[in-house]
Structure 1
Amino acid sequence: MKEWMHRFKFLGDIQLAGTFSKDLRKAIIRQKVDIICPIPLAEERKNMRGYNQVEELLKAANIPYQLLLAKNENVSPQSEKSRVERLNMGQPFHLAKEINSDARTILIVDDVYTTGRTILHATSCFWTYPKIKITTLTLAR
């Protein structure tokens, strides 16, 4: 799994998204959520790579999603940080748009869970919506 994820994220082997699609789709459907929100990539990183790996996973699984979060500028990639740096980093995200008032549950999807900081920071963006339940799903650890 580690090798596949490396190939998918860093070597551009985008076809690997289909490898995970069936299991990802099953896991997401079980969640019973109103909105699915992928963890965003910095625009510079997305342009360099050519895609957001989490969005590609969701597309391969035929799962609709909304881009509710955006990455703040000048935030270095997690893969380039030590564990201590990851644990001490500031808020890398902000809300990119208002949330539909009918939404009751949002599922935040990420590809890899390392320290939990990415998920913590993403969920904290929604704390101004106390009536919305936030759940999370990561593909690998």
Structure 2
Amino acid sequence: MNKTETHCLLCAQPLQSVPSWKILLTKQFPPCICEKCASRFEHSPTTTALYQYNDAMKDYLHHYKFLQDVALAKVFRQELHRQFKHEKSPIIPIPMHPLKQKERTFSHMEELLKAAKIPYTQLLEKTTTETQSSKNREERLQTAPIFQLLPGVSTEYKEYVLFDDIQTTGTTLRHATEILLQAGAKNVRSFTLING
């Protein structure tokens, strides 16, 4: 059973919504942010991302990832569930380096999928603690490989879907795709929460 939030997770204003039969019967998640906060996020015109990067998304990412507010994983759960609920190919969230995950206390990509009740698998591990956000465009494009296959895993499926929080130059997704293709995957698609 989903916990019903009484206050918006972003602005702390009381939520007006009352749990309805529609939410229960259609298995929708109860709202966890108010309509005003939801309206600040701009939907992406692409089919490979849910949202565009804007000031509201910048604030969200700062609080979720860097201030470690894991409750914010629920903010986009309805949209992510709708996107992935019929997906047949295994979904692979882009992993964090183990040291970064220990520092942050949770994997932000995995928590987004857990909140949306979407199954995922992990085949990759990050080999560097460097973040792409600390590099300029040129440096990102020249980055050495940043992932490797987890020991003992194999690509058993023909197609995989990589899931990341934001795509700017596409370097992270390109590196992860190359590793999976080299390991025998026939096709790798990608989907992001945000188009940067």
TM-score (norm. length: structure 1): 0.89
Q: Tell me the distance in 2 between the aligned counterparts of 1:132 and 1:82.
A: 31
Q: How does 1:82-101 map to 2 (within 5 A)?
A: 82-96=136-150, 97-99=152-154, 101=156
Q: Tell me the distance in 2 between the aligned counterparts of 1:133 and 1:76.
A: 27
Q: Tell me the distance in 1 between the aligned counterparts of 2:92 and 2:67.
A: 24
Classify 1:131/1:110 alpha carbon distance in 2 versus 1 (closer, same or farther; 3 Å): closer
Q: Which residue of 2 aligns with 1:17?
A: 73
Cα-to-partner distance string for 1:27-71 (whole Å, 9 max, x where unaligned)? 1235x3321101010111000000111001011011111110001
Divergent runs of 4+, >6 A:
none
Q: Which residue of 1 aligns with 2:119?
A: 64
Classify 1:100/1:127 alpha carbon distance in 2 versus 1 (closer, same or farther; 3 Å): closer
Q: Tell me the distance in 2 between the aligned counterparts of 1:82 and 1:100.
A: 32
Q: Does 1:126 align with 2:183?
A: no
Question: Which has the larger Rg?
Answer: 2
Q: How does 1:37-56 map to 2 (within 5 A)?
A: 37-56=92-111
User: Which segments of 5 or more consecutive residues in structure 2 lack a partner in the other structure?
Assistant: 1-56
TM-score (norm. length: structure 2): 0.65
Deviation at 1:79, TM superposition (A): 2.1
Q: Tell me the distance in 2 between the aligned counterparts of 1:80 and 1:129.
A: 29
Deviation at 1:129, TM superposition (A): 4.9
Amino acid at match of 1:60: A
CA contact (8 A) 1:33 1:107 kept: no
Classify 1:69/1:131 alpha carbon distance in 2 versus 1 (closer, same or farther; 3 Å): closer
Aligned residue pairs total 138
Amino acid at match of 1:19: V
Identical residues among aligned pairs (%): 36
Cα-to-partner distance string for 1:103-132 (whole Å, 9 max, x where unaligned)? 232110000111100010010011135563
CA contact (8 A) 1:106 1:135 kept: yes
CA contact (8 A) 1:108 1:137 kept: yes
- Counterpart selection for 1:111 from 160, 165, 169: 165
Higher helix share: 1
User: Which segments of 5 or more consecutive residues in structure 1 lack a partner in the other structure?
Assistant: none
Q: Which residue of 2 aligns with 1:136?
A: 190
Which structure is richer in relative contact order (CA contacts within 8 A, separation 6 or more)? 1
CA RMSD of aligned residues (A): 1.6
